[in-house]
Structure formats: structure tokens, C-alpha cells
A = this chain, B = another copy of it.
Amino acid sequence: MTDVDEAVRAAAGAAAAARTATDAERATWLRAMADRLDAAVDELVALADEETGLGDARLRGEVARTTGQLRMFARVVEEGSYLEATIDHADPSATPPRPDLRRILRPLGPVAVFAASNFPFAFSVAGGDTASALAVGCPVVVKAHPGHPRLSRRTAELVAEALSAAGAPDGVFGLVDGFDAGLALVDHPAVTAVAFTGSLAGGRALHDRAAARPAPIPFFGELGSVNPVVVTAEADADRGADLAAGLAGSFQLGVGQFCTKPGLVFLPEGSALEAALAPLVGADAPRMLTPSIADGFAAGSERVRGVPGVEVVAGGRAAPTVAATDLATLAAHREQLLAEVFGPFTLLVRYGSRAELAAALADLEGSLTATLHAGEGESVDDVLPLLEEVAGRVLFAGWPTGVAVTWSQHHGGPWPATTSQHTSVGATAVRRFLRPIVYQDAPEAALPPALRDANPLGIPRRVDGMLQTA
């Protein structure tokens, strides 16, 4: 672990070399990181399991996802569309005459990344934020999560070795540790953006701090989500028992410690799903990521269970818990019932008519996901637009845990799900760390290769208004 000022100065010192490295070179850095982590998978998974208790299978899968993500961002920058190279040739006949204008995106500079607790690989030291920032030439300083300190240090060592061996500039990646280091990182004048995955309270504090700087910087935060699920009466009648199994699996997966955990399930009164759920809920208090997360889970569960009109369907105390209530209680106790309970907890909300359901959906805050289970061919025009309004991903006949890493993926939503329009998953994650620059009447030699007439990089561009593929 290094001093914050030292790490940020090193990052700033690496910025010019990281920016001027070619996309092909930066892709090599990311693949070197991925290869190094894959080669150390046994050691890393063992360390992670000791510190998080998430289990061998899950953690191996997460390493694969993390290295797959590094390789995906390598492909994204190699493909080159991300640069948004745009050329408008001069038009002397226009009124007023138009100069030659050529636009490209360039990296912001050093980025602070706050690691999350619940994905010790995919949203931690070498996760999506780090990968997307390095991919486009932004040096990264990671603030380690205290839930897995030894894993963080070991991952950082491997990342630093891989970057160095691949020819990346010294200082392009650093790791710092501790609460105060996090604050100092957000305050540091050379930091140009913050990426964060964590709690609403912590994220809000850092968001406000980034906005209050003498020179404010963007804060890209993923904060909290209840991930509403809607089950129609037809779906419940068709396959209530299957839905119960799906929900039980999803809300308890990873000990409920997923940002996409379904935490609020709207189902018809007297549903088959609810009737089938209790036997599928684990009876024992599971190991959670950290003692403070376990405390938060117990307190959140207690907060919901303590609301008059809420009953416990299964579990309770420190074990996985299903509670249930009705729409009137939800409306009367929004603050207690709609705040995320991080952990294996879900709240069933029984509705009578679809009109009442729609009114409740219109009143939700933002979430990462919203899920719809309807009957075959059933019309959902009354509820689908409401789900589209509150979420960044809308799922049909599935469960929201599990986030495929693809070009199209998105992992965000209206506040408080995220603070910004683009997030750490999916190809546009890189866009957060870029700003446009336009060259006006530049001599060919002064232009970045991506903007030269001959298109030496062979990337997709827009020329005089027309999109051209490579």
C-alpha cells in the first residue's frame, strides 16, 4: 500500500504515456492482466474464500468473468468505435465558411476506483472500473475494500507485474487503503473522475465530496437497488411453483449479496408462488462478507419486519428471510420498506387489481433491474412502461442476478441505483473516462492517426455525416 499523494502523482506521471499508447498496446496490457490473474486462479480463489466465504465455485466463476471482462475491453478499444472519430471536411461555400473539424475522444486522466465488497474480483481491484479506465488510457488508483485486504494486495501485485511486463508505464496502476485514503483520493487535484460501487450512504457522501471540490469531478457511482419483480396472476397460475424456486434461488444466491438481488416482489393475493416459497428458504444464518454487512442485514431485516402490516413468510433474524405485506402498508411505510436490505431478504407485496399494482409501480425509485413474469402472450402494456421508467435492465421471465458481460449490457438505473448514465458493465463503461477534443484546421501531422484522412487504424468513423464501418 502506498501513500495517496504518492500514488496519484505516479498516476499523473503515467498519464501522458497511457494516453499516447496505441489502442493495440493498451489491449495488450489488459490481456496480460487477464492472463496473470487466470494463471493465479487457485491462489486467488483460496485467498478470496478465506476473506469472503463466497465459496470455490462462485469465486472461480467470478475470476473467469473478471478476466473475460478485461479481454472484452481489449476488444472494445481495438475495434475503435469508442473513439467516435468524426470528420467534417471544410466547406468554404457555407455561410459562414466552415473550417475543417475533426473530433475524437481522449482520456480524462487519473481515475479513482472504489472497490466493492461483494464481488472481490469483478467489482474490485481488477474489475470493470479499472479495466474500462485503463483500456482508454486513464491511470487508475484503486481504494481497496476492507472486506478482502489480502486478496486486494495480492491482486494488485499481479496486476502491477502484468502491466509492467507488458510495457505499461510505471504508476499507471496503484492501490491505496483505508477510509481516510479514500477521502484524500476524491479530494486530490490530479484525480479527474471517481468510480464507485457500494452503499447508498457511502456513495452519497463521496458523490457530494466530488461535487464540492474546487474543481468538481464526475462521480460514477452504483449505490443501491431493490430490483422489483412483477408476477402477473396468469404467470402465477401457470407456473407458481417454478417461480418460487427461481425466486428462492435468486434472492439467496451469493448470500443475497448481489446488487441485482430481487428485493421486492409484487405478486397476486393468494399466489401459488408465495404458498410454495417457505420450504425453499435456508434455515441457517449464513456467513456474510463482513461483520458490518451482517449487522446491516440484521438491522435492515428487523426494520422491515417491525413495520405493522408486515408478516414473516419464512426465516427471520440472521437467516434468509421472506416477508410479505400489501400495497396499503407499502404506501404508508415507503421509507422503511423500500430501502435496500443487503443480504438474503426479499419482501413480497400482494396486490389486488392490476390498476392498484400499476399505481404502486409508478411510485418506485430507480433500480438496476426490473423483472416481469407474465403469461404466454398476456398483454403487459399497463406495467411494462412503468418498469422501463425505473430500471436500466428489464428482464422477461428471468431473474436479475447474473449480469452477462457483453457489448449491450448495462448495469445502472435512475437514482439511487446509479448517479450517472453509464456504468462499469458493458462496452460504454469506457465512455465515462473520455472527453471530446476537436481539431480545427489541423495539419495532417498534428492529428492523431484516428483522424487522418487515410484512416490508418482502419476504425469506424463518421465522415461528413456518414457513418463508415472499418
Query: Footprint of B on A, CB under 8 Å?
Result: 16, 61, 64, 75, 79, 81, 84, 86-88, 94-96, 98-99, 101-103, 106, 108, 207-208, 211-212, 215-218, 365, 380, 384-385, 388, 391-398, 402, 404, 406-410, 412-416, 419-422, 426-428, 434-443, 446, 460, 462, 465, 467-470
Residues on B with C-beta less than 8 A from A412 are 435-436
Residues on B with C-beta less than 8 A from A16 are 385
Residues on B with C-beta less than 8 A from A469 are 467-469
User: Chain B's nearest CB lies how many Å from the CB of A273?
Assistant: 19
Residues on B with C-beta less than 8 A from A462 are 81, 407-408
The docked-state distance in angstroms from the alpha carbon of A79 to that of B338 is 41
Residues A218 and B437 in contact, CB atoms below 8 Å apart? no
Copies of this chain per assembly: 2
Other-chain residue from B212, B404, B416, B470 in contact with A101 (beta carbon distance below 8 A): B404
Residues on B with C-beta less than 8 A from A380 are 446
Other-chain residue from B98, B208, B409, B422 in contact with A406 (beta carbon distance below 8 A): B98
The 9 closest A-B pairs by CB, nearest first: A211-B211, A103-B408, A86-B408, A410-B436, A395-B440, A215-B415, A88-B406, A393-B438, A421-B435
Other-chain residue from B208, B392, B409, B438 in contact with A394 (beta carbon distance below 8 A): B438
The docked-state distance in angstroms from the alpha carbon of A84 to that of B108 is 22
Residues on B with C-beta less than 8 A from A396 are 439-443, 446
Q: List 15 A-B contacts (CB under 8 A).
A: A79-B467, A81-B467, A98-B406, A99-B404, A103-B410, A211-B211, A388-B437, A392-B436, A398-B441, A407-B465, A408-B438, A421-B435, A421-B436, A428-B436, A467-B470
Other-chain residue from B419, B436, B441, B467 in contact with A397 (beta carbon distance below 8 A): B441
Residues on B with C-beta less than 8 A from A415 are 215-217
In the complex, what residue of chain B is closest to A431 when comparing beta carbons?
B421
The docked-state distance in angstroms from the alpha carbon of A87 to that of B380 is 23
Residues A215 and B436 in contact, CB atoms below 8 Å apart? no
Residues A407 and B86 in contact, CB atoms below 8 Å apart? yes
Residues on B with C-beta less than 8 A from A436 are 392, 410, 412, 421-422, 426, 428
- Check A440/B394 contact, CB under 8 A, given A61-B96, A218-B420, A419-B216: yes
Residues on B with C-beta less than 8 A from A413 are 435
Residues A84 and B428 in contact, CB atoms below 8 Å apart? yes
User: Chain B's nearest CB lies how many Å from the CB of A8?
Assistant: 17
In the complex, what residue of chain B is closest to A72 when comparing beta carbons?
B465
In the complex, what residue of chain B is closest to A215 when comparing beta carbons?
B415
Residues A394 and B439 in contact, CB atoms below 8 Å apart? yes
The docked-state distance in angstroms from the alpha carbon of A392 to that of B442 is 14
Report which residue of A408, A422, A435 has the largest number of chain B beta carbons within 10 angstroms of its beta carbon: A408
The docked-state distance in angstroms from the alpha carbon of A126 to that of B441 is 29
Residues on B with C-beta less than 8 A from A442 are 394, 396
Residues on B with C-beta less than 8 A from A385 are 16
In the complex, what residue of chain B is closest to A459 when comparing beta carbons?
B467
The docked-state distance in angstroms from the alpha carbon of A184 to that of B78 is 46
13 extra A-B contacts, CB within 8 A, seeds A384-B446, A393-B437: A79-B467, A86-B407, A87-B408, A98-B406, A102-B408, A108-B421, A216-B419, A392-B438, A394-B442, A395-B440, A396-B442, A396-B443, A426-B438
Residues B437 and A392 in contact, CB atoms below 8 Å apart? yes
